[in-house]
Amino acid sequence: MSDLTADAVATEHPGAGNPAAPGGGRTVAAAVPAALVTRLAAGVTATGEPDLVETVAPLTGERLASLPQSTPADVEVAFQLARRAQSAWAALPVRRRAGVLLRFHDLLLKRQDEVLDLIQAETGKARLHAFEEVLAVAMAARHYGRTAHAYLKDKRRGGALPVLTHAVEARRPKGVIGHISPWNYPLELSIGDALPAFVAGNAVVNKPDTQTALTALWARELLVEAGLPADLWQVVIGDGPVIGPAVVEHADYVSFTGSTRTGREVAQRAAARLVGASLELGGKNAMLVLADADLDAAAAGAVRACFSSAGQLCISIERLLVHHSVADAFLERFAARTRALRLGGGLAYGADMGSLVSVRQLETTTRHVEEAVKAGATVVAGGRARPDLGPFFFEPTVLDGVTPDMAVCAEETFGPVVSVYRFDTEEEAVAAANSTPYGLNSSVWTRDLRRGRSVAARLRTGTVNVNEAYAAAYGSVASPMGGMGESGLGRRHGAEGILRFTEAQTIATQRLMPIAPSFGLDDKQFAAVMTGGLRALKALRFR
């Protein structure tokens, strides 16, 4: 972003701006010393004399790490190593594999401060938002640690012929999962999806975003400490368009989280190889504030919904739909809370919002706000970059008067910017919420919980939170989470989140007589017996 652009936005919206949070905690340099980087970087599969790439700490702009880059040939090596380790792992009883997840759960909670520092250093987010990642991963580790055996055990099914056919549905690991993850939730999105893959008996080759590779490498180290064979989780890092396709090229299944644009490309490559893929993609999520909502709770919820991780959260809210009768009262409360958020980058709890991750995110955010303002939108809160706090800080921003011609109306900003729209009827609100090709998450606020659930049922999104922003649905790890429409394919969490990493295999055993003419019956007699049999099975309500 040019300084000119930042200045232009700042001049349009003079004002006190959000307060700075008190500093505190260690510096990035102290929290991520060179020795730690060297130790973690040793976990990257990169042979020979790899090229090095530098990452920058978004909070301060200082140099963070120099990391080896994997080549497409390294990706091939990673798959070979993973494949070799996978068969012995798959042969272990499920409960032994699940034990690794449960030990990992305990280690993660015990050593959370180490990874909170890394997440903050690599993403620039506030510590509270980094902690959400620890929470999400611990919940997934506990859930699959405790339930994998039930999800994966052989299940007796009704056979072709009662008594004569014994049928069992079994689950086999896919093999080696190609797992590509983005930078915004580096702990949750690197290991959260890998855990069910491992417990189902697979190996994983993970390509995290280079910017946040240290967090993924730390998680790998901890999982190995919890008992995972080291070769089972390979980490390759490098330019997405260069090594991403190589990951898809060798995978038995692809688990991808990232933008809709890249997701389409990954899906096409996976389809060409006839391997499955789950795609967790972008969103333009809406929150509905109904006329009977508790406005203080809704305003507090909207702050969490819109500004967690500075809005760089796939399930965060970028469209606020508010009933006309309460719009002014809600907006007043929401704007006041937004203006009061303390921005800061200390590696300690205390800031309400941190920085954006990169100049790219700052540019998109600034462009969306600047263009909207030029075209007539009003800034209700925030609206400008805060270079006084760090190179990529942008204030939590509320826009009113946004119209469909503005990019911020329909495009994913992936920054701390939300637009407010008013509605008169529930139908109008539901239609507006559904008027996007995306379908990831939504949020409904009302005092009438039955009404909330009935509105939720009409929303075309993979998750809906009633009286919460996103954490209720995301944290309900026994239930599936993912996107409809252009927000993706497949689901993480729950049964779908683990079974996607398996192949179903049916083993049917026939006894006493074949399913063919036998015992002296000719074809016609056999057909008559079977016809009578089918009628009887239906009458007996056989399923």
Q: Count the Cβ atoms, other than its own, within 10 Å of residue 3.
A: 10
Alpha helices, H only, 273-323: 295-307
Q: Does residue number 180 form part of the binding site for ligand NAD (CB under 6 A)?
A: yes
Q: Tell me the window of 162-170, 181-189, 335-343, 367-375 that interacts with ligand NAD (CB under 6 A).
A: 181-189
Active site residue 314: yes
d(CA 64, CA 243): 22
Q: Tell me the window of 130-138, 192-200, 277-285, 321-329 that interacts with ligand NAD (CB under 6 A).
A: 277-285
Q: Which of 368, 440, 434 is nearest to 407 (CA)?
A: 368
In the complex, minimum distance from the CB of residue 474 to ligand NAD, in angstroms, rounded to a whole number: 9
Residue type for position 28: V
Task: Return the number of the residue (159 or 485) whose C-beta is nearest ligand NAD.
Answer: 485
Q: Count the Cβ atoms, other than its own, within 10 Å of residue 164.
A: 14
Q: Which of 17, 124, 182, 391 binds ligand NAD (CB under 6 A)?
A: 182
Q: Which three-class secondary structure state does DSSP give residue 253?
A: strand
Q: Which of 414, 423, 445, 470 binds ligand NAD (CB under 6 A)?
A: 414
Q: Tell me the window of 34-42, 254-262, 302-310, 521-529 that interacts with ligand NAD (CB under 6 A).
A: 254-262
Q: Which of 412, 421, 464, 477 binds ligand NAD (CB under 6 A)?
A: 412
Q: Does residue number 71 form part of the binding site for ligand NAD (CB under 6 A)?
A: no
Active site residue 280: yes
Strand 317-323 versus strand 417-423 pairing type: parallel
Q: Which of 257, 397, 446, 465 binds ligand NAD (CB under 6 A)?
A: 257
Binding to ligand NAD by CB under 6 A, coded x per residue (else -) over 210-249, reads ------------------------------xx--xx----
d(CA 214, CA 54): 12
Q: Which of 76, 169, 265, 426 binds ligand NAD (CB under 6 A)?
A: 265
Residue 188's alpha-carbon distances to 109, 227, 317, 332, 370, in angstroms, are 14, 19, 19, 34, 32
Q: Does residue number 500 form part of the binding site for ligand NAD (CB under 6 A)?
A: no
Two tokens, residue 118: 């890394």
Q: Tell me the window of 60-68, 126-134, 182-190, 300-308 that interacts with ligand NAD (CB under 6 A).
A: 182-190
Q: Does residue number 266 form part of the binding site for ligand NAD (CB under 6 A)?
A: yes
Q: Count of residues binding ligand NAD (CB under 6 A)?
A: 29
Q: Does residue number 145 form part of the binding site for ligand NAD (CB under 6 A)?
A: no
Q: Which of 177, 281, 381, 444 binds ligand NAD (CB under 6 A)?
A: 281
Q: Tell me the window of 2-10, 252-260, 426-434, 534-542 that interacts with ligand NAD (CB under 6 A).
A: 252-260
In the complex, minimum distance from the CB of residue 235 to ligand NAD, in angstroms, rounded to a whole number: 12
Q: 515-522, long-range: CB within 8 Å, 24+ apart, which pairs?
A: 515/160, 515/161, 515/165
Q: Which of 82, 132, 124, 135 is nearest to 415 (CA)?
A: 124
d(CA 208, CA 219): 12
Q: Which of 536, 513, 531 is nearest to 163 (CA)?
A: 513
Contact predicate 216/246, CB 8 Å: no
Residue 82's alpha-carbon distances to 70, 206, 257, in angstroms, are 15, 11, 21
d(CA 299, CA 236): 42
Residue among 133, 314, 395, 412 flagged as catalytic? 314
Q: Does residue number 311 form part of the binding site for ligand NAD (CB under 6 A)?
A: no
Q: Does residue number 309 form part of the binding site for ligand NAD (CB under 6 A)?
A: no
Residue among 280, 395, 412, 468 flagged as catalytic? 280
Q: Does residue number 283 form part of the binding site for ligand NAD (CB under 6 A)?
A: yes
Q: Does residue number 58 form part of the binding site for ligand NAD (CB under 6 A)?
A: no
Q: Report the half-sphere exposure of 451 (CA within 13 A, side-chain side).
A: 13
Q: Which three-class secondary structure state does DSSP give residue 52?
A: strand
Q: Tell me the window of 133-141, 259-267, 336-344, 508-516 that interacts with ligand NAD (CB under 6 A).
A: 259-267
d(CA 105, CA 101): 6
Binding to ligand NAD by CB under 6 A, coded x per residue (else -) over 341-370, reads ------------------------------
One-character DSSP codes across 98-136: HHHHHHHHHHHHHTHHHHHHHHHHHH---HHHHHHHHHH
d(CA 53, CA 65): 8
In the complex, minimum distance from the CB of residue 259 to ligand NAD, in angstroms, rounded to a whole number: 3
Q: Which residues inside 468-497 make contact with ligand NAD, applying CB under 6 A? A: 483, 488
Q: Which residues are catalytically annotated?
A: 280, 314
Residues of this chain that bind ligand NAD (CB under 6 A): 180-185, 189, 207, 209, 240-241, 244-245, 257-259, 262, 265-266, 280-283, 314, 412, 414, 440, 483, 488
